[in-house]
Each structure stands twice: as structure tokens, then as C-alpha cells.
């Protein structure tokens, strides 16, 4: 089946690249490949993929650094980025989410599970998460949250957020003072992502507070989070 969505697969192990590429091509995706982070950035600038699958450990430039650099470029703000790794250490997962990863897939690759995950990720859309009646430009407290540009403004300040950070802020701000449980947040923002845990939410909340300030998102101990509006 034809598909106009583009996926960039980045891994220094050729057999892994071949396996993933074969299954993605069979599903109809347009597949591009690279063997390290530097090459990934070069290819991404040429083809502008919808999703990038990045191995963490690679020569020349690893996946974490490549993701961090691409997230700093406006053209890749809304591109889905998924880490692929055999490493099980907690810090590598947290590092991935810190630089803006949307998901995390562990090796060894199971083709059917991989395709199910990729299909689910590409179906995600902020508009499915937020109530349809909420405006594309949400003005709340002293913030303007612009869903079209994925930017947040406060007066003359402009905040550039990673995709999941933005979706999380928009979700909370769409219903001020409503407490969202962790389960509700996971379902809304990371639906179908089996590797995501409560720790993932904590990492994104921390990064969000670092960027826009501590006063907007309040922790409700033992329950979840809310956008505080007096």
C-alpha cells in the first residue's frame, strides 16, 4: 500500500537497518537510512521525514546528541523521534526524553510489535488529545499557547518546546485547575506506547518548568498534575 509518510532509520548495525527498512517498506512507508548521527542530520535536512528512528549508541555522533541538535532546529520541532537501543539503563531512557524523544523501543527488534508501535506513533496528533472546541491559540494566565506553531509566548518572550512538552502543557492548560491523573496523561499523550512510565511524565514536567517557570504546573501529590489558574 502506498504511503506518503517518510521514515529515517539510523543505526550503525546494517542488519538492524535492513530488518526495520524491510518491514517499513512492506507497510508502504518511504524509508531512508543513515549509519550515524551526523549522517542522520544530513539526510533529514534533505528528505524532511515524518519520523526518525535513532539508535542510541553509534560512532561519530550518538543518537542522543543527534536528537538534541535536530530538536534545536525549527524544521524538526514536530518530527517524531524514537530511540532504538539494546541498553536497559534508566539514565539512557531519561537522557532520551530530556532531549525531546517521543518514544523508546528496545532491541532485539520484534517486527510485528515494532510496526504496531510505529503505526500508533504516526497516528498520534495533538488535536486528538485536546477537546475539539478548544482554540488553536490558547490564551491563559500570561501565556499564549499556539498549537499551529508549537510555540508558547509570554509578553515578548518566546518559548520553544519539544513536541511532547508542548502537548503536555496544552493538555493541562486546556482545562485549568482540573487535576489530570498520571494514567490520564499517559493515555492522552503517550497512548499505545508500552515502554512509557510515570517517570516519563516527571521528566517532561521538569523540563517544562525549566523552560516556562515553576508557577504554572502544580503537582497534586499522589494523584497527578494540573495547570494552576487563580
Render pLDDT for 160-204 as a digit per residue (tens, 0 to 9). Answer: 888 889 999 999 998 888 888 888 888 888 765 555 677 888 889
Calculate mean pLDDT across residues 39-48: 95
Whole-number pLDDT of residue 125: 47
Kindly report whether the global pTM for this prediction surpasses the value 0.85. no
Q: Give me the torsion for CA of 10, 13, 14, 15, rounded to 10°.
A: -110
Domains of the chain, with CATH numbers? 6-123 (3.40.50.2300), 127-227 (1.10.10.10)
Instruction: Tell which residue, 197, 193, 214, has the closest CA to residue 205.
Output: 214
Whole-number pLDDT of residue 91: 54
Whole-number pLDDT of residue 103: 81
Q: pLDDT grade, residue 86 (50/70/90)?
A: confident
In this structure, the strands spanning 103-106 and 137-140 are unpaired
Amino acid at each position: 500500500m502506498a504511503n506518503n509518510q517518510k521514515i529515517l532509520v539510523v543505526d550503525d548495525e546494517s542488519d538492524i537497518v535492513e530488518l526495520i527498512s524491510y518491514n517499513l517498506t512492506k507497510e508502504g512507508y518511504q524509508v531512508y537510512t543513515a549509519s550515524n548521527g551526523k549522517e542522520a542530520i544530513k539526510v533529514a535536512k534533505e528528505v524532511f521525514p515524518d519520523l526518525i528512528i535513532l539508535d542510541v549508541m553509534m560512532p561519530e555522533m550518538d543518537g542522543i546528541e543527534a536528537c538534541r541538535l535536530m530538536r534545536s532546529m525549527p524544521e524538526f520541532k514536530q518530527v517524531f523521534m524514537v530511540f532504538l537501543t539494546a541498553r536497559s539503563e534508566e539514565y539512557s531512557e531519561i537522557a532520551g526524553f530530556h532531549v525531546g524523544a517521543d518514544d523508546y523501543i528496545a532491541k532485539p527488534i520484534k517486527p510485528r510489535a515494532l510496526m504496531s508501535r510505529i503505526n500508533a506513533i504516526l497516528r498520534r496528533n495533538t488535536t486528538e488529545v485536546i477537546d475539539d472546541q478548544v482554540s488553536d491559540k490558547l490564551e491563559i494566565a500570561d501565556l499564549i499557547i499556539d498549537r499551529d506553531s508549537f510555540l508558547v509566548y509570554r509578553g515578548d518572550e518566546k518559548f520553544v518546546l519539544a513536541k511532547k512538552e508542548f502537548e503536555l502543557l496544552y493538555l493541562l492548560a486546556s482545562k485549568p485547575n482540573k487535576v489530570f491523573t498520571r494514567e490520564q496523561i499517559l493515555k492522552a499523550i503517550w497512548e499505545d506506547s508500552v515502554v512509557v512510565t510515570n517517570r516519563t511524565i516527571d521528566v517532561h514536567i521538569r523540563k517544562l518548568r525549566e523552560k516556562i517557570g515553576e508557577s504554572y504546573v502544580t503537582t497534586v501529590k499522589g494523584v497527578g498534575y494540573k495547570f494552576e489558574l487563580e
